Amino acid sequence: MEPQEAFIQTPLGITAIKGSTSGLTSISISDPGTTPTSAIVPESLKPAVKQLQEYFDGKRTTFDLSLNFKGTDFQRRVWQALLDIPFGKTCSYLELARRLGDVKAIRAVAAANGQNPFWIVVPCHRIIGSDGSLIGYAGGLWRKKWLLEHESPYKQQSLFV
């Protein structure tokens, strides 16, 4: 089946969802006004739209979607490791490299993290610096901060200033 796409409004901008009945191929974010939202969402993309809306409404902490990862073996290992980071938790680039068995691969881990094709669903926003700082986020650090605060069990205080 030919790939389909849908564009939905989220609190962080326009989210593009691409895929088919065989699974999603990408979920990405862009600034408001860059693309109009979809009047009609293809049937194959409706579960992704619904789950993302539930996430933003605070009703979903995990996703159950078919993802078609396209990347190197190493990238797929990094993306799989990201899926193991629980909602509301963070992990450093160094710790992720350690979990993958090679602390010297920290830059490669960071590069693979930046190439993640599934915004939010594969939670690359949960990766922070070893000192707890917000570093490196393709969608912009302000979005990373928003996502981490959205997932924080401590809603009344900001994690990051």
Residue 48 lies in a domain: yes
Same domain (yes/no): 26, 78: no
DSSP 35-100: SPPPSS--GGGHHHHHHHHHHHTT--SS----B---S-HHHHHHHHHHTTS-TT--EEHHHHHHHT
Q: Give the Cα separation of 17 and 34 in Å (integer).
A: 15
The pLDDT of residue 135: 87
Residue 158: inside a domain: no
Pair 22, 68: CB distance under 8 Å: yes
pLDDT of residue 3: 83
Structure tokens at 144: 């990373």
My answer on whether 43 and 95 are in the same domain is no
Catalytic: which of 45, 78, 124, 148? 124
Query: How much is the mean pLDDT over the chain?
Result: 91
Provide the number of structural domains found in the chain. 2
Query: Is residue 91 annotated as a catalytic residue, yes or no?
Result: no
Q: Which domain holds residue 98?
A: 73-151
pLDDT in tens, 52-90: 999 999 999 999 999 999 999 999 999 999 999 999 999
pLDDT tens column, 131-146: 989 988 888 899 999 9
* Domain identity same for 85 and 137: yes
Give residue for tokens 């899926």: 83
* Long-range contacts, stretch 152-155, CB < 8 angstroms, 24+ apart: 152/88, 153/88
Confidence of residue 160 (pLDDT cuts 50, 70, 90): low
With respect to residue 160, please indicate whether it lies within any of the assigned structural domains: no
Q: pTM surpassing 0.75?
A: yes
Of the chain, the end-to-end C-alpha distance in Å amounts to 46
